Amino acid sequence: MIFFATSALYMNDIIEEEARLAGATDIKSVSGGVEFSADLASAYRFCLWSRTATRVMMGLFQDEDILNADELYEASVQIPWEEWVNPSLTFSVTETVKNCPYMKNSHFAAIRLKDAIVDRIREKFEGERPLVDKDESDVVFHLHIEGDKVAWYVDFSGRGLHKRGYRVAQTDAVLSEYLASSVIYRSEWRKALDRGEGVPTLLDPFCGSGTLAIEAALWASDRAPGLVSARRFNFFDLPIHDVDLYEEVVDEALLRAEQAKERKIAIYAWDSDPKAVVITKKHAQLAQVDHLITFGVKDFTKVTKEDVPPEAGYIITDPPYGLRMEGPIDLQVLYRQMGKQISTLFGGWHAAILCGQQELLSHVDMKPDRTNTVNNGGVTCQIAHYYVFTDEERQQMIERAIERKKERLAQPLSDGAQMAYNRLVKNLAALKPIMAEQNVTCYRIYDADMPEYSAAIDLYEDKYISLQEYAPPATIEPEAALKRLGELIDATERATGIDRDQIYVRQRTPQKGEKQYEKMASTDKFYIINENGAKYLVNFTDYLDTGIFLDHRPIRAQIAQLAEGKRFLNLFCYTGTATVQAAKGGALSTVSVDASSTYLDWAVKNMQLNGYTGMNHFFYRSDCLEFLFDTFDRYDLIFCDPPTFSNGKGRQNFDVDRDQVRLIKACMMHLDQKGTLIFSCNFRKFSMDERLLEEFDVQDITPTTIAEDFARDQKIHYTFLIKHRTVVKVQQPKTNTKLVRRK
């Protein structure tokens, strides 16, 4: 017999394993689930023991050449439905239709099958027919259409196979039984259990309605999920059902549970909400596992070492991540505190954290050993798995790292690396005193000073290095280019004293269109840097740039000086660093515009980081030219820093040299008569169009905006102050004419 077990996304491998353990053969993943061959006993066993399948159906027939609705009916009416249903029984039909050109309405497919079944039964039972009962039918048939292929099934398990029957209440965030089981299956706790190491300690510090803890207790006590509550499977009403065989499979399951009663099980379910803990207790009682779980009303962010279970174990949890949650909660703070608690109090433990917002996991501030993807009600979630090192293990790792560094630094530099080292030392000796005097902590220390080592090297907070290698020409052999890069990294580590782990290396190539905004990695690891009394978030790995253009530091300082009492507009705002300086300088209001939602979100975070969250700060995702032509507000200070070229999806191509007149005139339409436009661009061949010079007052302030660390490259950017021309009113001379009366 052929069976089909339906599956949620990313769970087919688990269901394949469940089918194998049940005794099935010919197991394979197909669209929507897992197909396998099984005898009746194995099918019963699968229904009792599957923790993740949502439904099991038995295959009846299939046809791979159905081309229209009439052929569907003709094929359906040939199937001996009288073997499964008769006029004394009720039935219903469910359906799935995928990529079928002749069946636009899936419900119509179910109607055609229902008609075929009724017509067939009428013919076999002298005009009598069974009734259709959609809610409480005795037999359920399922029709699956995918393209020209059609398969007919009878429902074997009944819908909701994953529902154990113990959940009668719920908290704001709901975790289904099958998803909880999949998280447990992916965890190190389950692997340890399968290795026969006893039942490890398990803690869920955000237990909610208790599903994770209860499913773990069922797993640990070797209880068949299908026997948790009195359950009526659909196969009870099928003619193939063998009562004696089913009882044998049930007895087999009960024996396993009896043999597991001697296991020592320690499962802890905590939550800061007393109502949630009450619900968890109620559900555990209904599942008959309450004696295996220790419940506690505890705020995990405030627990101490005394609260931690005595034996190192495993944390498996589903903390809040903003979806389906009610009430205000600062999730970033929660995840930072959670990560701190885990790393501080739970040395030697493993942790598995389910989260629907991957960015939040970056605030845990631990590097996961691995991740899994799951789907929670349409929300793509990550399970991040961590191992928490003990203090002793951390110390050993530090000592090993120090020893490796000593060995590395003891090796002599190559001739090329020595040359690069000498240049870096010279640059640092010249720049450090200047930057210290200006209180600058992030600056460039090298910019392709030597053609053999073509890269830009930026120092951040004397802690991190961003080394951006310019793509070598095609004439350079890849091995030679890689060797030079290695030499430059060696030289940078020696010259700066910054550990190699904090030297972030990327290759910089020209980017166009949406690639300007694409992620290069997914660490979501952000660091806080300082500039001119403000703080910014930077990321050294995930994007083309770190989140701040260091060469614009003097421009941002000028914006802070000019912004007091001004209405400020930041076009092509990127991560909002200029907006932060405008707000810091006392701007009356700020408006930030960018086409990228990624960078616009980043801008919001930078403003929040500095405490600028008032109603007078606005952010718009828009093409900047469209924004200028679609809005009518006026501003006293505008900063416009466009890309050299952009051809993003859904937008017209933009070329700063070609489109400068149109862009600047559009800006000036929004600029107050006494306002200032700061226009900057990085196109190395840029020249202000003569038409703009004739119409507006344009002042080239480029030399004043290139700081000492960028002085080696006077074309790093161009900056102009642009204002409306002052209209001089000529006063007409007064005349002493007299009115002469005519006679």
Predicted confidence (pLDDT) at residue 317 exceeds the cutoff of 70: yes
Q: Which residues pair with 679 in a beta bridge?
A: 640, 720
For the sheet with 202-204, list strands across it.
293-297, 267-271, 202-204, 314-317, 350-355, 379-387, 370-376
What is the rounded distance in angstroms from the CA atom of residue 520 to the CA atom of residue 444? 22
Q: Can you read off the two tokens belonging to residue 349?
A: 């433990």
Q: Answer yes or no: is pLDDT of 412 > 90.
A: yes
Question: What pLDDT shows up at residue 740?
Answer: 38
Tell me, yes or no, if the pTM score tops 0.85.
no
pLDDT at position 736 over 70: no
The pLDDT value given to residue 327: 46
Is the pLDDT at 135 greater than 90? The verdict is no
Helices (H), ranges, 442-523: 478-496
| Window from 88-97, 138-147, 376-385, 647-656 with minimum mean pLDDT | 647-656
What torsion, rounded to 10 degrees, do the Cα atoms 623, 628, 633, 638 define?
90
Nearest to 374 by CA among 108, 115, 10, 669: 10
The rounded distance, in Å, linking the Cα atoms of 620 and 461 is 31
Question: How does pLDDT run across 693-706, given as a tens digit for each residue?
Answer: 999 999 999 999 99
**Contact criterion met (CB below 8 Å) for 467 and 505:** yes
On the question of pLDDT at 732 being above 70, the answer is no
pLDDT of 46 higher than 50: yes
Q: What's the pLDDT tens digit per position in 431-467?
A: 999 999 999 999 999 999 998 899 999 999 999 999 9
H or E element, residue 385: strand 379-387
SS3 384: strand
Higher pLDDT, 378 or 292: 292
* pLDDT > 90 fraction of the chain, expressed in percent and rounded: 75
Binned at pLDDT 50, 70 and 90, residue 676 comes out as very high
Torsion of CA 349, 354, 358, 361, to 10 degrees: -30
Contacts of 595 (CB under 8 A, 6+ apart): 621, 622, 623, 624, 646, 648, 651
Let me know: does 532 contact 507? Beta carbons within 8 Å: no
Residue 401 binned pLDDT confidence (cut-offs 50, 70, 90)? confident
pLDDT at residue 326 greater than cutoff 80: no
* Rounded CA separation 447/385 (Å): 40
Residue 518 pLDDT > 80: no
Average pLDDT value for residue range 419-431: 97
Q: What integer pLDDT is reported at residue 615 of this predicted model?
A: 86
Residue-level pLDDT at 437: 96
Is the model's pLDDT at 183 over the cut of 50? yes
Q: What is the mean pLDDT of residues 656-672?
A: 95
Tell me what pLDDT residue 408 has. 86
CB atoms within 10 A of CB 395: 11
What pLDDT, on a 0 to 100 scale, did the predictor assign at position 647? 76
Residue 180 near residue 9 (C-beta atoms within 8 A): no
Average pLDDT, the chain: 90
Confidence of residue 564 (pLDDT cuts 50, 70, 90): very high
Evaluate whether 508 touches 468 at the Cβ level (below 8 Å).
Answer: yes
Dump pLDDT digits (tens) for 624-634. 999 999 999 99
Banded model confidence at residue 514, pLDDT cuts 50, 70, 90: very low
pLDDT of residue 657: 92
- The residue among 292, 258, 260 whose CA lies nearest residue 196 is 260
Q: Which two tokens stand for residue 295?
A: 């419940």
pLDDT > 50? residue 504:
yes
> What's the pLDDT at 737?
41
Band (172; pLDDT cuts 50, 70, 90): low
Around Cβ 740, how many Cβ atoms within 10 Å? 6
Residues whose CB falls within 8 Å of the CB of residue 425, separated by 6 or more in sequence, listed in order: 495
- Is residue 667 predicted with pLDDT exceeding 50? yes
Q: Give mean pLDDT, residues 354-358.
A: 88
Q: What is the pLDDT, as a whole number, of residue 729? A: 56
Q: Hey, what domains does the chain have and what are their CATH numbers?
A: 2-155 (3.30.2130.30), 177-221+263-388 (3.40.50.150), 412-509 (3.30.750.80), 545-724 (3.40.50.150)
Instruction: Give per-residue pLDDT as tens, 200-230.
Output: 999 999 999 999 999 999 999 999 999 998 8
- How far does Cα 236 stand from its chain's mean position? 44
Q: Which residue has the higher pLDDT, 630 or 321?
A: 630
pLDDT of residue 363: 85
Question: Mean pLDDT over residues 137-158, rounded?
Answer: 92
The predicted pLDDT at position 506 comes to: 87
565-588 burial, b for 16+ CB within 10 Å, e for fewer?
ebbbbbbbbbbbbbbbbbbbbebe
Identify the band that residue 31 occupies on the pLDDT scale cut at 50, 70 and 90.
Answer: confident
CB 716 within 8 A of CB 726: no
pLDDT of residue 125 exceeding 60: yes
